A and B are shown apart, each in its own frame.
Chain A
């Protein structure tokens, strides 16, 4: 499938309620969004539900973002991150624990990284994922997560260092 340009034309088409353009946008980003949410929430089914909610919100409110600050995809991930954070806030400790351990098992190094990633706080996991996998800049992350750029940088550093220590065989420091 040809990629959908994340530009003015796409925004205009979504604002006009163009379902075909939305369908292409969905196919292009749904899997990555689900994976991001799975990392954040630790549960594939919940990740699927939150991803669907995020897409629906984008469909119903295509004017809710500022194209000068970030692309449409960032807006989508921002919606999803907020929904995921809400989900975490409204779940009990037991539900969160049950939600954690569904991981994909692959090579040894991948398994190590997978396990290390799981031991991070959800916010740290999602931040690292958005930076390393989705390739968002600090400025774009500030828009997505609705926090200052300086906070993004300090949280990125803390999350990296925490993951590095776990991955290298240590444990996470208290407070991280």
Chain B
């Protein structure tokens, strides 16, 4: 190799890199190339000396730093690099979710129809929840004295603005202690279906096109009327209205999926529900560790005054502000209305367990609920 060929390797050698053996041998034996190598080193030194004369200068004023803001416009429109594998996985996930969603919708079986059945004459009510699944839903209402109104409702179509219903209904007077009476009081267990079939055996179904939100009155075979009023939901309502009607009697009290709050502190939720309709309808709940609270629609000894408005009761006790929430209206009649609340320091003494979360502690007339709490 000659000097011209070796020149680039001199520069590389100066940068601390290894060079081919031939080039190294030439540089070792060539005074010209060694001189070039020395010049490079001197140049570097001179450059550093130049720099050292200015590097101690005081820094100028730092530029004004603008407030950093998240630039959503840029963030949303900026392009991002996505590996093909990740893109494939993403597309696969989207496809899978779409199929899964479709499957879930297919499994859900369509819209839900939640409705109340009531006897306008007695104000007795019961709630139901169904789909267009061709199955009968039963309800039994008081019709005065020992008479009962039996109703069977089947939805053949449930749409957002229209529900097609088949309804069988009749008045009957079950014999005391009979299977019919037990079925009508929901006390027959697994044998009730057979008995109920017998109750409605010879009733001709009536067909209706029902518009959700309206009240549909249906003549009852044997006299009287029943009313249907309900709504359509895309998803199954989180609580079953079957035992907790959306519209209550003025003398009725009910709780479903209730929760208690004291001065913005969440004390707990009560699963399930309960209702009472009596002379002074009352519901007791145990809220550990505070004790038991009893809510009644009429004043009673030791109770404080509260205000009920649809799904809430507000009351003040011992300097604390309480709110009782319910997923359904707590009572019927004109809202807001007065309600009375009593607090017992302890849950029923007979309980062998101490609940960790709020639970029901009796429903019925106030005297019965208070008796239960004292037992």
Contact = CB atoms under 8 A, between A and B. Distances in A.
B101 interface: no
A164 B51 CA distance: 18
Interface in A1-43: 17, 19, 22-23, 26-27, 30-32, 34-35
Contacts, number: 98
B60 A48 contact: yes
Given A154-B8, A157-B7, A56 B63 contact: yes
A32 B51 CA distance: 8
B22 interface: no
A31 B59 contact: yes
B50 A110 contact: yes
A26 B7 CA distance: 39
A98 interface: no
A40 B138 CA distance: 91
B62 A23 contact: yes
Contact of A163 (B7, B12, B43): B43
Contacts of B60: 30, 34, 48
B55 interface: yes
A128 B46 CA distance: 12
Nearest to B52: A133
Contacts of A114: 50
Given A35-B55, A104-B54, A164-B40, A133 B46 contact: no
B39 interface: yes
Q: Please report whether the interface of chain A is mostly helix, strand, loop or mixed according to DSSP.
A: helix
Interface string B49-80: 11101111111101101101000000000000
A146 interface: no
Interface residues on B, range: 20 to 34
Given A32-B55, A153-B15, A55 B7 contact: no
A97 to B, nearest CB: 22
B50 A138 contact: no
A164 B43 contact: yes
A131 B47 CA distance: 10
B314 interface: no
Contact of A153 (B12, B49, B57, B62): B12
Contact of A157 (B8, B39, B44, B46): B8
B40 A160 contact: yes
B59 A22 contact: no
Contacts of B50: 104, 106, 110, 113-114, 117, 133
B66 A60 contact: yes
A59 interface: yes
Contacts of B98: none
Given A156-B11, A161-B7, A164-B36, A110 B55 contact: no
6 contacts: A35-B51, A52-B63, A113-B50, A129-B51, A153-B15, A161-B7
Of all A-B residue pairs in the complex, the 7 with the closest CB atoms, nearest first, are A157-B11, A113-B46, A132-B44, A133-B51, A17-B68, A132-B47, A30-B59
Given A55-B63, A59-B68, 20 more contacts: A30-B59, A30-B60, A31-B55, A31-B57, A31-B58, A32-B55, A52-B63, A56-B65, A60-B66, A109-B49, A110-B49, A113-B50, A131-B15, A132-B48, A153-B8, A157-B7, A157-B8, A160-B14, A163-B43, A167-B46
Interface of B: 7-8, 11-12, 14-15, 17, 36, 39-40, 43-44, 46-51, 53-60, 62-63, 65-66, 68
